[in-house]
Amino acid sequence: MDPRDEIREFLSSRRAKITPQQAKLPAYGGNRRVAGLRREEVAMLAGVSVDYYTKLERGNFGSVSESVLHALAQALQLNEPEREHLFHLASNMATIKPGRRRTVSSVVRPAVQRVVDGLAEAPAFVRNNRRDLLAANDLGRALYSELYAQPAPDGTINTVRYLFLNRGAREFFRDWDQAAADIVANLRTEVGRDPHDQSLQELIGELCTQSREFATLWAAHDVRYHDTGSKALHHSMVGDLDLSFEVMDLPADSGQALIVYGAEPGSVTEERLRLLSIWAATHRQEHAEATQ
């Protein structure tokens, strides 16, 4: 992924989403060749010359100032994730580049694993920036039992690969369209943070060639945070589950994050999680007896 292409496609895609009416500009004539804003309209709103904006949209950021980036974000009506993405893209093209992120580790530290295992009443996972599940507690493995039953040839459990390449995902994720859009937009933020991550680029390349839905969503250049929200799942053993989730970055482990799911107290989902916990404990005991 060439950072220049990322900048060009991101800016042009955001420009296409803003109509003159939304920007409070007069729509000159009824025969516009573009649905969104023209380059000269964005330049005017941002307070820069047309030539300079055109240069920026071609990926020639050089030593662009923060004030210009803020003006662009305002002109294009970027939300907070999009604004952050723009600044990450700009920093990757800066004349003096900041230090790159540390190599993302695929090893979960024992102290983190103990925390995950201690969350016995809630499904919990550790994942990396590729969305590989690196660790889970018993209830987490039970919740995502379909994913753990079908690992990749290298043994990894990857939620994005499952979502787009496994037919069962459309039943497991009850709102598959929303889940797909969210995870692709979130991967865009990861690319903006570190466009030099080879393993992440390889995953995206694989999915673009194997999934038309992924390729279409990727081409939209949407970016989104994914640090809190809800999941509507269907588990083959206990039925529908409506879960909340929280994502907490692990600062000591670059690229890793802890994900914890929860249910509304007294809800049907809370009761079904208890049933799933019993099922997981029984399954673990049967497995232990079989391996003795």
pLDDT tens string for the chain (292 positions)?
Answer: 677 888 888 998 999 888 888 888 775 555 667 778 888 888 888 888 888 889 888 888 777 888 888 888 988 999 888 988 888 888 877 544 444 444 667 889 999 999 999 998 899 999 999 999 999 999 999 999 999 998 888 889 999 999 999 999 999 999 999 999 999 999 998 888 877 788 888 999 999 999 999 999 999 989 988 889 999 999 999 999 999 999 999 988 888 999 999 999 999 999 999 999 998 888 776 655 566 6
Examine the domain organization and report whether 242 and 142 are in the same domain.
yes
Q: What's the token pair of residue 147?
A: 């994913």
- Angular region, 244: left φ>0, alpha ψ -120 to 50, beta rest: beta
CA–CA distances in Å: residue 175 to residues 172, 187, 240, 243, 276: 9, 19, 12, 13, 21
**Smallest Cα–Cα separation from 247: which of 186, 288, 188, 191?**
186
Tell me if 214 sits within 8 A of 181, measured CB to CB: no
* SS3 label, residue 288: helix
Is pTM beyond 0.85? Reply is: no
Examine the domain organization and report whether 30 and 145 are in the same domain.
no
Q: Look at residue 161 and tell me if it is in a domain.
A: yes
At what angle are helices 176-193 and 80-93 packed, to 10 degrees?
30
* SS3 label, residue 108: coil
The pLDDT assigned to 64 comes to: 81
Examine the domain organization and report whether 7 and 134 are in the same domain.
no
Tell me if 82 sits within 8 A of 14, measured CB to CB: yes
Q: Look at residue 148 and tell me if it is in a domain.
A: yes
Examine the domain organization and report whether 278 and 159 are in the same domain.
yes
Examine the domain organization and report whether 129 and 85 are in the same domain.
no
Q: Look at residue 118 and tell me if it is in a domain.
A: yes
In terms of residue numbers, what domain contains 199? Answer: 110-290
Q: Can you give the CATH number for the domain in which 116 is found? A: 3.30.450.180
Examine the domain organization and report whether 42 and 117 are in the same domain.
no
Q: How far apart are CA 230 and CA 249, in angstroms?
A: 18
Please tell me the total count of domains within the chain. 2
Tell me if 123 sits within 8 A of 140, measured CB to CB: yes
Q: How far apart are CA 263 and CA 50, in angstroms?
A: 52
Q: Look at residue 149 and tell me if it is in a domain.
A: yes
